[in-house]
Amino acid sequence: MREKIISVHNLVKKFGSFTANDNLNFEVFEGEIFGFLGANGAGKTTAIRILSGLSKPTSGEVSVAGFDAYRQTEQIKKNIGYMCQKFSLYEDLTVKENIVLYGGIYGMSKSLIRERLTELLEKLRFQEYENRIIADLPLGLRQKLAFSVAILHEPKIVFLDEPTGGVDPITRRQFWEMIYETAERGITVFVTTHYMDEAEYCDRISIMNEGRIVALDTPSKLKKQYNAATIEEVFIKIARPVN
């Protein structure tokens, strides 16, 4: 039986009288690639902030990597990786400086950081860019690097918020191969995206609408259920944007 990395039970998050998350229930297992979809304003960002220890639920049970989302947010933060859409790396520092910095923040030893740095540079074929300033690198490379930095400390789970926004089709696919490889290593990947074809790369996906989860299953089962050829069709059938 695979370990539950995320366990969410009746999660409610309110801001004043507005309910951003309305009774969410789901689980994510070790090594899964879990796609978290929904229209803008559906409540995805709110839920992710709670799961990454950045805010607390109003009610319900939430545990991430075995830690409670109310009382153990600091441990959650230590055991996850996080990559937001853009700007996770310091633009005026070099590749190496960013890695060393984040390694330090994650509490990794100097030797471990050096080891991972060499590994990373080799894998991404970045060796000549070790001392280049981030601002000089194109978007695709930056995204790949940001992802690598987010999992530098081998966390149990990594949250990716629209990681492939705007990159070219080849880099997008390379990025997803990195995601696959990460999942194979046992790191759970929790990803949101607006590219509907990327939803198909996930093991399971959930679709949020107006604060609720309206679909949760494997991509192929959802397509069958809604008689759709693509996830985009499924999405258009069940998700309406909030005003």
The values of phi and psi at residue 173, to 5°, are -70, -40
CB of 35 to another protein, least distance (A): 12
Task: Please check whether residue 14 is in contact with residue 26, taking contact to mean a CB–CB distance below 8 angstroms.
Answer: no
Smallest separation (angstroms) from another protein to the CB of 141:
7
CB nearer to another protein: pick between 36 and 57: 36
Would you say 16 or 169 has its CB closer to another protein?
Answer: 169
* Nearer CB in complex with another protein: 57/142: 142
Of 211 and 219, which has the nearer Cβ to another protein? 219
Q: Cβ of residue 72: shortest distance to another protein, in angstroms?
A: 19
* Token pair belonging to 59: 């009610």
Residue 125 phi/psi, 5° resolution?
60, 50
50, 13 contact by CB (below 8 A): yes
CA-CA distance, 221 to 227, in Å (whole number)? 10
State the nearest-atom distance from the C-beta of 74 to another protein, in Å. Answer: 13
Q: How far is the CB of 232 from another protein (least distance, A)?
A: 6
What's the DSSP call for residue 192?
E
Residues contributing to the site for another protein (CB under 8 A): 38-41, 90, 92-93, 97, 100-101, 103-105, 107, 129, 136-141, 162, 165-171, 173, 176-177, 180-181, 183-184, 194-201, 219-220, 230-232, 235-236, 239-243
154 CA to centre of own chain: 14
Nearer to another protein, 68 or 136 (CB): 136
In the complex, what is the shortest distance from the CB of residue 204 to another protein, in angstroms, rounded to a whole number?
A: 13
Q: What are phi and psi of 41, to 5 degrees?
A: 85, 0
Q: Minimum distance between the CB of residue 101 and another protein, rounded to whole angstroms?
A: 5
End-to-end CA distance of the chain: 42
Nearer to another protein, 54 or 236 (CB): 236
Pick the closer one to another protein by CB: 9 or 138. Answer: 138
Question: In angstroms, rounded to a whole number, what is the distance separating the alpha carbons of residues 171 and 8?
Answer: 33
Q: Three-state SS for 186?
A: coil
- CA angle at 107 for the pair 110 and 177, rounded to the nearest 5°: 85
Contacts of 103 (CB under 8 A, 6+ apart): 112, 113, 116, 117, 152, 153
